[in-house]
Structure formats: C-alpha cells, structure tokens
Structure 1
Amino acid sequence: MSTTKPPNIYPDADHAPVTSVLLDGDIPYTDHEMDADERVIMALGYKQEFKREFSLWTTFCVSFAVLGLLPSFASTLYYGMGYAGTAGMVWGWIIAMVFIQCVAMSMAELCSAMPTSGGLYYAAAVLAPPGYGPFAAWITGWSNWIGQVTGAPSVDYSLSAMILAAGSIANPEYVPTNWQVFLLTTLIMIIHAVISSMPTKWIATFNSYGSTFNFIALFAVIIAIPAGTKNSPKFLPSKEVWGNITNLTDFPDGVAVLMTFVAVIWTMSGYDSPFHLSEECSNANVASPRAIVMTSGVGGLTGWFLQLVVAYTVLDIDEVMDSSLGQPWASYLLQVMPQKAAMAILALTIICGFSMGQGCMVAASRVTYAYARDDCFPLSRIWKQVNPHTQTPVNAVILNAVLGILMCLLVLAGSTAIGALFSIGAIAQFVAFAVPIAIRVFFVGNRFRRGPWHLGRYGPVIGGIGVSFVLLMVPILCLPSVKGNDLTPDLMNWTCLVYGGPMLAVIIWWVVDARKWFKGPKVNVEHAIHPEQKEDSVVEGVVVDGDNHASESAGSKSLKD
C-alpha cells in the first residue's frame, strides 16, 4: 500500500467536496508503483485496465473523426437548409455554437475532475444529492448510451446513401433501393466493428490518419467549391444570404431557425468522446478536457465556414431538397460544380464519412463497456469483458454493431423513419450532457472539487447557460416541419416516440425493479480511509464514523470490491 498523508476531513456534508479525485489521497491498496494517471483512476475507484496509448492529439483525432464535419454537414443539410434556407444556416450555426461551446467547456471541467470511461454517467452519480445518485446515473447513462449506439448506424446509413447516390450520378439509369441501402450499411457496420476490436494502438493510429484526412478534405472542399463553381455570378449577394429566411416549415421564422439547430447539435454531439477515452489517454485529467474544448471550438469554427460556402453558392434550395438522387449534398454539388468536380468532392465526403463512422463505433463501445462494468445491462458480465489479446472491449463492440444493424432496418420503412436516428442522437446526447452539468451548477455549487483544467469562478455561469440551451432545444427538436391538416404520418417527427419510448421504459424499469439493485458506478479496487479524528466525518461523499466504518451516504459511489 502506498503511503501518503491522510485525506482532508470535512465537518459535514455541506462543506465536503463531492467529486472523487482525491488530491491528498483516498489511499488505494496496490502492489506496484503507480504513475499519475493510475493514481487518479485508482482514486476514482477503478483499476487501470487499458493501455494509455492515446495522447492529446490522438484523442482529439478520434473526437474530430466522430464529429466528421464534412460528412455530418452532408448528412444533415436537409435540416439546416431545408427548414430556414441560407439565413437559417448561417445564423443558426453560429448562434447554436455559442451555447454548445458552453456545454462543452462545462463538460471538460467535469472530465478533468473525473476522467473515467463512464464519463457523464459517473459524474452524475457522484455529484447528485444524497439518495439521488443512482437515479441520476441511471437516466444519464441510458440517455447517453442511446445517443452513442445510434451514432454509427446514422452515419453509416448516410454514408451508404452517398455511395449509392454517386452510383446514380455515374449511371443515371441506376436507382438505389432501400434494401441495397440497408445491405451496404450492414457491410460498413461490420467493417467498423472489426476495426474497433483491434488493439488500442492500432485504433489510435487508424483514427489519426482518418482525422488528418478529415482536416485536409474539409479545407479542400471549403476552397474548391468557391473556386470551381460553374455559376455566374459565383456568389449570392450577402443581403440575400444573411437576410432571406426561406421558411419551409409551418412555424414562424424564429422557430424555423431554432429547428435548424438539429443539424448543428447532431454534428457537434461527438465532442464527449475524449471523456469516454480518458482511461486510455495519458495525462488524462488535462489532455482529455483540452481535447473536448479543441473539438468543439475547432469543429464549430470550421463548420461555420463550410456553412458560409454553401449558403453563398446554392442556387435553388427546392431543387436541392427534392432531387431524385435522395441525397441533398450530392444534389447541391451537381448544381454548383461540374460533374467530375462534384464526384471528386463526394468521394472525399465518403472517405471522411467512413472515418467518422469508425470513430462513432469506438466511442460507443467504450460507453457500453463502462456501463456494463456497473451491471447496467442484461448479461453485463459478457459485455464488460476485455479481450485478453487486444486489450479492448470486443464484446461491447459486437453488441453495438448488432444493435446498430437492427436499427438500420428502419431504412425499409422510408426516409422519415430512418431520419429519426439523427434527432434521437441529438436529443439523447445533449440530455445526457446537461444532467450532470445541471447537478454541478444547481446542487453542488462551491463544493465541486475541480481538476487541473477548470473554468474558475465562471464555471457555474457557463454551465447554467448550457443547461438552459438544452432545456429550450429538447421540445424544438421534437417538432415536425408541418402542422395541422398537413401533418401526415410520413411527415411526422417521430423523435418524441423513438427516444421518449425507451426512456419511459427505462424509468418504469427503475421504479419497478432497478432501484432495488442499481446503486450507481461500482468501484473495483479496495480503499483504505484514514480519518484524522475519532468523530463522524465526511470524506468525498462517504460517511466515515469514528470507528472507521464507511457507509454510502452522499452520492451513490460504492466502496465494495
């Protein structure tokens, strides 16, 4: 057992820090020397099970690949341009990004304090008021998992649609069928599952190349479209781009602009990946939060530049939205570029989309592993196994791939049904982001023990702004584009049902059964708590009486083996 000075003792729960990175030591039993990263993860209650082969750069590469700005923009062009036209695109993106950056910075602050693969789920459990930790973790975990597990299928579906759209451009007589889209999506999912099951170092290398290509392709497209457009004049007047809201919904212009945020939110929902990869990252409580903020900041700025390029060059929005190709990005490229140039840019988008889907699969598998480690799922003992050869959670990868393929059967029900995956991903992720941030802002206050990366006194303000944005957007993301007599089943926004249904089932499961056995994150190391005085004290949300017996009180953290 390592020897350090005893932990700080606090007189009551109101003055105790409630995060569990222990600067002065909740001393874990160990039979070997530990580096700084292992001491942090051991203090959080977990054994070091992964090799720390991710750096700040490679972690950023994975999260930027998950963001996949070029393929994400191509996949969600229907929502940005299709709801409010060019003005909705350029104003919607930059306004949403200000608030999304608040969410990202608040998340990074939590990541620095608690760098575990459980991420927001662990933070919600530890930060919640006494007695509410398990329920907060339950809601956060399931919402985050639903968002994560829909990520790769939605990306791979869009990727398949783009590949087949390219086939239609090359051979105008070819018309893709829904079955062909589904089968191609399934093949891509299987390939991504194989890559995600490889050793960590291989995955990190693959994603580094993929993200580098994403960077190059993104900037190449931003330059190539204005330079190579066949239209004359090349650009629309700024007054038309910024001031002309082409409202294609039945709602007022302001609501239509808010509805375009679904494209921004879905695109920017991948910046939590460094949180989930933090147990595989060196210098995690600094590198991981930096990667979160870098991903959100760099992604937001470059994504806006891409919005501007498209907004200034598009000629006919209706033609882009209603093209027989069934893929607005491909339709737009053909409208503004010569066919060979359009095909080249579409090819770049497809390659970037493959890298993005791979990043989504990796991040989702780590989330599944973390939650299975705490027995959240049926048959968790299977999904939480780490493969002894690759040292990666191969079973969790397989589970996600199978579930993703089953979700893609929605392709057979039409574009509206499969489109629900995008809204689900946006809502599910941001609800999961907001819960622990809200607890930290409104319940924890100054008792929050910050990590080395933090927002200082501005943390609660920035977090409050981010949470308010999420509360506004949840109902907006559930709105259909039409209302009244125009609202038919094929135009319905099924997000409230497809996301709300599983979450309602999860809540019912909690009330009926799960609350009896689910106690939040389960630690898997043995701890020794050494109070400095023989009176009841509180150390990290765990009540320690004068006889050195620990009981679970504040928060939900278990100190069992």
Structure 2
Amino acid sequence: MVLCTCLASSVISRLQTVSIVSNCFIIILLFIALPIGTKINRGGFNNGSFIFGKFENLSDWNNGWQFCLQGFMTCVWTIGAFDSCVHQSEEAKDAKKAVPIGIIGSITVCWILGWLILIVLMACCDPSMENIIDSPYGFALAQIIYDSLGKRWAVAFMSLIAFCQFLMGASILTAVSRQVWAFARDNGLPFSRYIKMVNKTFSVPFVAVWFAGAASLVLGLLCLIDSAAASALFSLAVAGNYVAWGTPTVLRLTSGKDIFRPGPFYMGKFWSPVVSWISVIWQFFIIILMMFPADQHGITKDTMNYTCVIGPGIWILSWVYYIAYKKKYFHGPKSNLTDDEYAEAVGSNVLDEIMSESGKGA
C-alpha cells in the first residue's frame, strides 16, 4: 500500500479511477446477485415494515440513545474520508472549485448508495438479528451473503471487498501522507526537516508517505488485541477527525471572522454562520457519542470503550508538546503565495492589521 502511494500524482489519480470502478462494480453485483439468491434460496424478501419500521434494541441503553449509537455511529464511520480532497488541494487544478465539488460529490454518492445498500441488505437478511450479529464468521455482511448465496459467493464477495478496501486504504494513506507533509513543512512535527523532503524526480514526499504508513501500521496493531481495541481505534479516528474539522470552523466564526474571505462556494452572510454553528454543535455531539460504550451496565475490560481515555490523552499530550517545545518553531501554515498574491487574497486592510499585530507582538 505504501509503495502504491509513492507513485506520482498522475498514476495515483488513475488508481483512484480503478478504486471507483471496482467499488461501483461490487455494489451493482450486490444489487443483482443478492436479491436473486434470496428469492431462490430463502423463498422471498422481508416486507417494508421490517425494512423501514422495525427497531430492535439489543443493549441496555434506552431506545433513544441506542438509536443514536446504532444509527449515527455507522454513518460517521462510513462518511469519514471526504476531507481527503482538502489534503491534496495543492496538487489539484482550480482547487477553490475542485475541492468543494469533491467533498459534496463524495458525501452525496455515499449517502445515496449507502441508503440503497441498506435497503437491499435489510430486504434479504435473516429476520432474526441475533443470527446475524452473533455470526460465527464475525462479520454480519458475510453472514447475510452466505445465507442468500452460499459459501462460494460469500468467499468471492469477501475477496472483492478486501480488494476494494485495499484501494480505499491506499487513497486514505495518500491523503494522510500529504497532511503529514504539510504539517512537517510548517515545522509542526518532530524531525520535520526530514519528513518534509520531496523527491524532485517524482514530486512525491516519499519520507512523509513512509512515516504515515509506519504510524498507521503501529496503530493498526491495536486491532490484534481484541474487538474492544479495534472499536476504540475506529471511534478514535472519528473523534479525532471531528476535532480537526470543528476547530477551524469555530475559529472562523469567532477570532478569525474578520480575516475570513469567502470563496466560490459561499452561502452568504446569514446562512453561512447558521450552517457552520449547526455543524459545530453536531460535531461536538458526535465526539461525546463516540466516548460511550455499547452497553450501559456490566462494563468490563472487554466491553469498555477506551476512546474516552485514548482520545483526550492524545489531545492533552499534543497540547503539552506544543506548549513545551513546538511553540517556538510552529507558527501556523506557511503560505505558498507571494506577498502580492496574499494581499489580493485576504485584502490589503486585513494584511495591514495582521502586520500591525505582528509588530505589537514583536
């Protein structure tokens, strides 16, 4: 995966095309094969009231909170990499338009296809949820496919899913490596002088790619411990993302509102703050939601949600690292614009204010 990510941007873009085509193919195959197999092997489908109206609470939380845990957590886990477009904005053409279109497009496609996939799965699954959740294969989707199509089709689907997961992992690693490189370029990481080096022949930050891959591998080893560690890793990824997304939004709405200059995608002076504050509240709610265990009572070391320990611990250590050491060297993102281009982007009045504040600080 790291070797794939080390390819030039033009090759990676073609790899993304292969990933999109592969994922679309497996979704279409699921839409065709699963209903046919269900009709032949199980005799029919679950009705509309089961698909859209049945709610079964298998935990000791109340129905309202369990609905949030079951419904919202699945969504935020799935729709969680749309910011990849942002991390590669420096390699995109006309990023001001291409990046927002990529974000909106990915979320829309995930929403529509995800909704359709859920309908098909609920129409074809065993009505007894216990048989699916307590599957001996440890994977609910594998059990649903096995029940409708048999062992060979289940193995084939799982193999295709593994291939698509590999391609998506390469896509995420590409975005993460660019984020690591950008942070190192701004002197925000240990050993930044080495991590931010870019290969002049391929124009690829090889060191950043390997650094991101090694860090991901170390975190991924947590999955070998038990299911609780794996769940904590997923929850930590979501909570960390929401902190990263929410922080600049809050700053833009508060201390940074005077230097904010809207781009081509702007909802206006009224709706932009309204939508932004709604998103901040939503992100804060999801961060809290990610800290809760699956069950309310009888929590053990195997059912504990360790996100509430690991997440805040990492955030506190990062803050201490910045205050104690990196504050001297890290002064925010470095601009690739010339002084004239920067003045045109933010406005001469804002630039004068920033220079004035810098002079006071000095």
Q: Is the 8 A contact 1:541 1:553 kept in 2?
A: no
Residue 222 of structure 1 pairs with residue 35 of structure 2: no
Residue 197 of structure 1 pairs with residue 10 of structure 2: no
| RMSD over equivalenced CA pairs, Å | 2.5
SS of the equivalent of 1:551 reads: helix
Residue 314 of structure 1 pairs with residue 125 of structure 2: yes
Q: Which residue is 2:194 aligned to?
A: 382
> Amino acid of the residue matched to residue 274 of structure 2?
V
Q: Which residue is 1:237 aligned to?
A: 47
* CA positional deviation for 1:444: 4.7
Q: How does 1:165-184 map to 2 (within 5 A)?
A: none
> Amino acid of the residue matched to residue 281 of structure 2?
S
Query: Comparing 257-266 with 331-340, which one deviates more in the overlay?
Result: 331-340
Give me the whole-angstrom Cα distance separating, in 2, the residues matched to 1:309 and 1:210: 22
- Cα gap change, 1:266 to 1:511, in 2 (>3 Å): same
Give me the whole-angstrom Cα distance separating, in 2, the residues matched to 1:553 and 1:368: 32
Q: Which residue is 1:258 aligned to?
A: 68
Q: Which residue is 1:104 aligned to?
A: none
Aligned with 1:491 (options 275, 291, 303): 303
Q: Which residue is 2:59 aligned to?
A: 249
> Amino acid of the residue matched to residue 159 of structure 2?
A
* CA positional deviation for 1:301: 1.2
Choose between structure 1 and 2 for higher RCO, CA contacts under 8 A separated by at least 6 residues.
1
Give me the whole-angstrom Cα distance separating, in 2, the residues matched to 1:529 and 1:410: 46
SS of the equivalent of 2:358 reads: strand
Give me the whole-angstrom Cα distance separating, in 1, the residues matched to 2:67 and 2:196: 42
Q: Is the 8 A contact 2:235 2:307 kept in 1?
A: yes
Q: How does 1:275-286 map to 2 (within 5 A)?
A: 275-286=86-97
* CA positional deviation for 1:522: 2.7
Q: Which residue is 2:280 aligned to?
A: 467
Q: Is the 8 A contact 2:181 2:195 kept in 1?
A: yes
* CA positional deviation for 1:292: 0.8
SS of the equivalent of 1:269 reads: coil
Q: Compute the TM-score of the two structures, normalised by the length of structure 1.
A: 0.59
* CA positional deviation for 1:249: 1.8
* CA positional deviation for 1:193: 0.2
Q: Is the 8 A contact 1:538 1:544 kept in 2?
A: no
Q: Is the 8 A contact 2:195 2:211 kept in 1?
A: yes
* CA positional deviation for 1:523: 3.5
Residue 514 of structure 1 pairs with residue 334 of structure 2: no
Give me the whole-angstrom Cα distance separating, in 2, the residues matched to 1:233 and 1:541: 74
Residue 500 of structure 1 pairs with residue 312 of structure 2: yes
* CA positional deviation for 1:401: 1.2
SS of the equivalent of 1:487 reads: coil
Give me the whole-angstrom Cα distance separating, in 2, the residues matched to 1:506 and 1:541: 32
Give me the whole-angstrom Cα distance separating, in 1, the residues matched to 2:293 and 2:2: 34
* CA positional deviation for 1:223: 3.1
* CA positional deviation for 1:240: 2.5
Q: How does 1:18-417 map to 2 (within 5 A)?
A: 192-229=1-38, 230-260=40-70, 261-315=72-126, 316-417=128-229
Q: Which residue is 1:138 aligned to?
A: none
* CA positional deviation for 1:553: 7.3
Give me the whole-angstrom Cα distance separating, in 2, the residues matched to 1:300 and 1:287: 20
* CA positional deviation for 1:227: 2.7
Tell me the percent identity: 27
* CA positional deviation for 1:552: 6.3
Give me the whole-angstrom Cα distance separating, in 2, the residues matched to 1:530 and 1:524: 9
Aligned with 2:358 (options 517, 541, 551): 551
* CA positional deviation for 1:526: 5.4
Q: Which runs of 5+ in 1 are unaligned?
A: 1-191, 532-536, 555-561
Q: Is the 8 A contact 1:423 1:495 kept in 2?
A: yes
* CA positional deviation for 1:278: 1.0
- Cα gap change, 1:424 to 1:541, in 2 (>3 Å): farther
SS of the equivalent of 2:180 reads: helix
> Amino acid of the residue matched to residue 371 of structure 1?
F
Q: Is the 8 A contact 1:445 1:460 kept in 2?
A: no
Residue 481 of structure 1 pairs with residue 294 of structure 2: yes
* CA positional deviation for 1:513: 3.4
Q: C-alpha deviations, 1:436-471, integer Å up to 9, x for none?
A: 122223455576311122223422222122111111
SS of the equivalent of 2:261 reads: coil
- Cα gap change, 1:455 to 1:418, in 2 (>3 Å): same
SS of the equivalent of 1:387 reads: coil
SS of the equivalent of 1:318 reads: helix
SS of the equivalent of 2:80 reads: helix
Q: Is the 8 A contact 1:211 1:355 kept in 2?
A: no
- Cα gap change, 1:344 to 1:433, in 2 (>3 Å): same
* CA positional deviation for 1:508: 2.1
Give me the whole-angstrom Cα distance separating, in 2, the residues matched to 1:223 and 1:453: 38
Give me the whole-angstrom Cα distance separating, in 1, the residues matched to 2:119 and 2:158: 18
Number of corresponding residues: 354
Give me the whole-angstrom Cα distance separating, in 2, the residues matched to 1:350 and 1:268: 19
- Cα gap change, 1:320 to 1:272, in 2 (>3 Å): same
Give me the whole-angstrom Cα distance separating, in 2, the residues matched to 1:372 and 1:410: 26
* CA positional deviation for 1:529: 9.2
> Amino acid of the residue matched to residue 253 of structure 1?
N
Q: How does 1:534-549 map to 2 (within 5 A)?
A: 538-540=349-351, 542-544=353-355
> Amino acid of the residue matched to residue 214 of structure 1?
N
Give me the whole-angstrom Cα distance separating, in 1, the residues matched to 2:190 and 2:122: 47
* CA positional deviation for 1:226: 1.9
- Cα gap change, 1:424 to 1:518, in 2 (>3 Å): same
Give me the whole-angstrom Cα distance separating, in 2, the residues matched to 1:460 and 1:314: 43
